Amino acid sequence: SQQGEEDPQALSIQEGENATMNCSYKTSINNLQWYRQNSGRGLVHLILIRSNEREKHSGRLRVTLDTSKKSSSLLITASRAADTASYFCATDERDDKIIFGKGTRLHILP
């Protein structure tokens, strides 16, 4: 099953700009995680935010979580060419499943 919906599906921005990606989900969760995936490669864990947290920072990453709206956002500040990748949110559901969103393909233009 697939429950997360990322928005936008694809995003192209100039290097140095900020990139914002959103994720919505449908059920109750324990936590929500964001991952990056370069083409043809495995997943890189970026950040985990628990259901009782509202915001979390890690370097150039800022994640918010609104459990009332069942949504999360990932902000990458001062984007770099190396940030070009697909980004996925994954919800850790109460029934012990980890469900991924459809992902956002981010392309940083030089």
Partner 1 sequence: GAVVSQHPSRVICKSGTSVKIECRSLDFQATTMFWYRQFPKKSLMLMATSNEGSKATYEQGVEKDKFLINHASLTLSTLTVTSAHPEDSSFYICSARRGSSGNTIYFGEGSWLTVV
Closest alpha carbon to 76 in 63, 90, 89: 63
Following CA atoms 83, 92, 67, 5 in sequence, which dihedral angle do they give, to the nearest 10 degrees? Answer: 50
Relative to beta strand 29-37, strand 5-7 is: unpaired
Residues comprising the chain, all counted: 110
CB of 100 to partner 1, least distance (A): 4
CB of 109 to partner 1, least distance (A): 19
Q: Which is nearer to partner 1, 63 or 90 (CB)?
A: 90
CB of 110 to partner 1, least distance (A): 22
Q: Which is nearer to partner 1, 19 or 89 (CB)?
A: 89
36: its two tokens: 């990056």
Q: Which is nearer to partner 1, 83 or 93 (CB)?
A: 93
Residues interacting with partner 1, by CB under 8 A? 1-2, 30-31, 33, 35, 40-43, 45, 48, 88, 90, 92, 94, 96-103, 105
CB of 95 to partner 1, least distance (A): 8
Closest alpha carbon to 13 in 75, 64, 55, 101: 75
